[in-house]
Structure 1
Amino acid sequence: MKIATMATGGIGGFLAVKLTRTGHQVATIARGAHLDAIRAQGLTLEGAAGRETVQPWKASDDPAEIGPVDVIVFGVKGDALPDAARACLPMLGPDTLVIPFLNGVEASDRLLEILPEQHVATGVAKVSTTISAPGVITQTGAFNSFIFAERDSRPSARIAAFQAAINDAGSSAPHTDDVQREVWWKFALFSALSGITATARCTVGDMLENPALKDMSKAVLAETVALGRAKGVALEPGIEGRIWDALEALPPQGRASTAIDIEHGRPLEVEWVSGAVVRLAAQNGVAAPLNGALYALLQPYRNGRKA
């Protein structure tokens, strides 16, 4: 398959390495020192399988140089979505699949404002990765799962083909019959993980060891699940406990990308996490006071400012 990673951050970089190693043609869209390093030394993944380095099929900061591909792995920060989506247009062929792996629950709908509907899928990535140095992606923990489907969750040949490619590469792309449920499952977990580790400047271990933080995290998660149900998402009874079990299984030293960004003074995705809960809760008549508090506390850092 011909695959493009837009862009080649933690998620795109992880998949670019795995899929290149199994013979797929992967074009990595990147810029600056990260692009320079990929061109000169290849793209490296440091993770559970050790250190893996590949030379991508193409590496560029200009999607027009890539041309049409079968799949675009779309993994940019939420605020970068509009510009990145427009940049994808030269890579669209008649049946190109664009899979958003962004934090939040609005990426697929937002892509429809820019890209033709027949190209847009819905996806969620369950993996902890980051750019640790130019040309280097580091994975925390061994878990990695990529769940995606057509927007209506119907089976399709192009979804099945890319699932097979990821599974054959040693990662996991399980079938789902309800992709919205999967997206909201992670969103509930991430609303707590992101909001708490960023505002408290703490790790997962800190969240679990401090009784007050633990109780607040569970309540934030429950607010987000209630919002999903109010929107008609099929989140079954008791799912809060199962999501919490998954959070407890995360590496104790782990933090959300929001917490890492605030440490480095980078802009935050708060509008698409805590902010999205606040906005969607108001639209659906649901109370979300704790998510609202986290959203307010992160506002001074939204556009980039060291804590």
Structure 2
Amino acid sequence: MKIATMATGGIGGFLAVRLTQAGHQVATIARGAHLSAIRENGLTLNAPDGDEGATTITPWIATDDPAQVGPVDAIVFGVKGNALESAAAACLPMIGPDTVVIPFLNGVEAADRLLGILPEHSVAKGVAHISTTISAPGVIQQVGTFNRFVFAERDSRRSARIDALRSAFNAAGASSPATMNIDRELWSKFVLFSAMSGITAAARCRIGDVLEQPPLAELFQAVVAETAAVARARGVALPSTAEQDTWRIVLGLPKDMRASTAIDVEAGRPLEIDWVSGAVPRLAQEVGLSAPANSMLYAVLLPHKGGKGS
């Protein structure tokens, strides 16, 4: 298959290495020092100790101009929420008659936003469960051994192109189970991430602090409950035990874990809070609900939304 990663950050980089190893033609869209390093030295994935160690591949194409790539079978779309519009427009030269675009972004609105820019038939839905980051230009670091990429057509119907891409992922060592309800998958992650993102960023803390400080634990559970309530009010078939299941997941997380939002606050980078803490009250209002805990976290983070230059 011909596959493009837009852009080649933690998620795109992981998949680019795995899929190239499996024999697929992968175009890596990147920029700056990261792109220069990929062109000069290849793209390296550092897997956890005990796995495969460091793996370096030479992409089919490494560029900052998608027009150089041309139409592909699939686009792994993994940019920050704030960059969605510009990145989506840049993807247009890579869209062919049956190209599928899989958005792996935080939040639950990426596919709807892409529909305003890309052809309707190209847009699918996806959710990624993996911890990866760019540790140095041209180098992707995976934290932990888990990886799970769930995607489907927007209505969750089965299709040949989704089946083909899932088979490619699985054969490359990137776990991609089938789903009959992609919206439930998206919201199940969002229920956890809305709390993880908002609280570890606003409180400048880690999961261990949440578990050790009862007021933080109560706030975390309040955010989870609000987000789950919004999902159900919007017709998403979350299980009745979603809140309890989410808290059990939290209890098993590494104590030093925190969301990417918290790391971005610390580094002075722009925040995608409009699509996380800010999204919950906005989506709640559409169905006649309120989300005061999420609204409070959004307000606390708002002064940092633009990063150091704001």
TM-score class normalised by the smaller sequence: over 0.9
CA distance in 2 between counterparts of 1:283 and 1:186 reads 21
Partner SS for 1:28: strand
Residue of structure 1 equivalent to 2:93: 90
Write the distance in 1 (CA, Å) between the matches of 2:211 and 2:174: 28
Aligned to 1:172: 175
Contact 1:140 1:254 in 2 (8 A): no
Q: Which amino acid aligns with 2:41?
A: Q
Preserved contact between residue 8 and residue 75 of structure 1 (Cα < 8 Å):
yes
Q: CA deviation at 1:305?
A: 2.6
Gaps of 5+ in 1: none
SS state of the match for residue 99, structure 1?
Answer: strand
Partner of 1:193: 196
Deviation for aligned residue 1:284: 1.3
Once the two structures are superposed, what CA deviation does each residue of 1:13-37 show, in whole Å capped at 9, x if it has no partner?
1111111111111100000000001
Question: Are the equivalent residues in 2 in contact too, given 1:140–1:251 (CA < 8 A)?
Answer: no
Partners of 2:198 and 2:134 in 1: how far apart?
Answer: 21
Q: CA deviation at 1:195?
A: 0.4
Q: What is the CA distance between 1:45 and its match in structure 2? A: 1.3
Quote the offset at 1:138 in angstroms.
Answer: 1.2
What are the superposed Cα offsets for residues 178-199 of structure 1, whole Å, 9 maximum, x if unpaired? Answer: 0000000011110000001101
2:16 matched residue in structure 1: 16
Stretches of 4+ moved more than 4 A in 1? none
Q: CA deviation at 1:204?
A: 1.9
Shift of 1:254: 1.8
Q: Residue in 2 aligned with 1:300? A: 303
Alpha-carbon distance, 1:210 to partner = 2.0
Letter in 2 for 1:219: A
Q: Which residue of 2 aligns with 1:63?
A: 66
Give the secondary-structure state (helix, strand or coil) at the position aligned to 1:20: helix
1: CA distance, partners of 2:239 / 2:220: 20
Deviates most, 201-210 or 219-228: 201-210
CA RMSD of aligned residues (A): 1.1
Deviations 1:52-100 (Å, cap 9, x if unpaired)?
A: 2111111000000011110000000101001100100000111000000
Report what 2:84 is aligned to: 81
Correspondence for 2:46: 46
Q: Distance in 2 between matches of 1:149 and 1:45?
A: 26
Determine whether 1:273 maps to 2:276.
Answer: yes
Using structure 1 for the length normalisation, give the TM-score: 0.97
CA distance in 2, matches of 1:247, 1:2: 38
User: What code does the residue aligned with 2:191 have?
Assistant: A
Q: Distance in 1 between matches of 2:138 and 2:168?
A: 23
Aligned residues: 306
Please say if 1:109 is aligned against 2:112: yes
Once the two structures are aligned, what percentage of the paired residues are identical?
65
- 1:34 matched to which residue of 2? 34
Q: Is 1:259 aligned to 2:262, yes or no?
A: yes
Q: How does 1:220-299 map to 2 (within 5 A)?
A: 220-299=223-302
Question: What residue identity is the alignment partner of 1:12?
Answer: G
Equivalent pair of 1:95/1:119 in contact (CA under 8 Å): yes
Which residue of the partner structure matches residue 128 of structure 1? 131
2:137 and 2:254 mapped to 1: Cα distance? 24
Q: Secondary structure at the match of 1:233?
A: coil
SS in structure 1 at match of 2:278: helix
1:70 corresponds to which letter in structure 2?
D
Tell me the SS of whatever aligns to 1:274.
coil
